[in-house]
Amino acid sequence: MTAMASEKTVERLSLYRRLLLRLRDDGADVVFSHQLCVPVGVTPAQVRRDIMQLGCSGVPHAGYKIKDLLAAIAEMLDAPQSQRAVLVGVGHLGLALLTHFSGRWRWLHVHAAFDVNPSKHGAIVRGCNCYGLDQLPRIVREWRVEVGVITVPMDAAQTVATMLCDAGVTGLLNFAPLRLQTPEHVYVENVDLTTSFEKVAYFARHPARLANNKNAERDAASEKDRADVPG
């Protein structure tokens, strides 16, 4: 059915979804491409193209049905049955993530957490226990866990990543400030807060703005997407 989406496309779909959910809760049934483009920071054409890739069709003067879009995005992004993740490193950051994400989604469940520190073992948040690292391979294998979240200190990150990959995960969300060496088939998403911080500091100091999602506002406001036929 739908072909493989690119990283950028997946990012936008995630944003569209959150926006659509809010619109739906506000009572809207349909939406136009120029409504979606502003908060995501792209042009209406980009939105239409993304929706096309989803396999959805709109109606020229009537827009897209929000229900259809949500269903199509869910089919693309969410696991058909259910998908499990584990988190390793129940420190400041790990605990914040667990608190925030546990039980938030039906289709992606944070199944367990791990830490070397025995004082962290036991129940952490509802539906998620913390174990010693020795339990990791068994639990990941038994529950067919596909996603690993790494929130251990830098020095331990590579070891943990290797354990997770060996145990069979195929996706890693890495918060440690280094690039992990992983097998070819494992997808790694690095959330590098140090880099993000340095980026903001740099651009905050430089008044000349990069294309910073700002141009889209203008585009949508004046709806430049339509051909302004010359002559």
Partner DNA sequence: CAGAAATCGTTTATTGATTCACAATAGCGG
Partner DNA sequence: CCGCTATTGTGAATCAATAAACGATTTCTG
Footprint of its own copies (CB under 8 A):
4-7, 10-11, 14-15, 18, 39-41, 76-79, 83, 85, 91-93, 95-97, 99-101, 108, 146-147, 169-173, 177-179, 181, 184-185, 187-189, 191-210, 212-214, 217
The Cα–Cα gap between 147 and 168 comes to 9
Task: Considering only residues 68 through 107, tell me which ones interact with ligand NAD, judged by CB under 6 A.
Answer: 88-94, 96-97, 100
- Exactly one of 9, 83, 135, 170 binds DNA (CB under 7 A); that residue is 9
Is residue 54 within 8 Å of residue 4, measured between CB atoms? no
Task: Considering only residues 36 through 55, tell me which ones interact with DNA, judged by CB under 7 A.
Answer: 42-46, 48-49, 51-52
Nearest to 87 by CA among 53, 49, 125: 125
Choose from DNA, its own copies, ligand NAD, none: what does 68 bind? Cβ within 5-8 Å by kind.
none
Going by the DSSP 8-state scheme, the letter that residue 106 receives in this structure is S
Tokens of residue 153, six digits: 């200190």
Q: Looking at 20-28, 31-39, 80-88, 157-165, which segment touches DNA (CB under 7 A)? A: 31-39
Cα torsion 79, 81, 86, 92: sign: positive
Helices (H), the chain: 7-25, 33-40, 44-54, 66-77, 92-101, 136-142, 154-167, 193-205, 215-222
| Binding residues vs DNA (CB under 7 A) | 6-9, 32-34, 42-46, 48-49, 51-52, 56-64, 211, 215-216, 219, 223-230
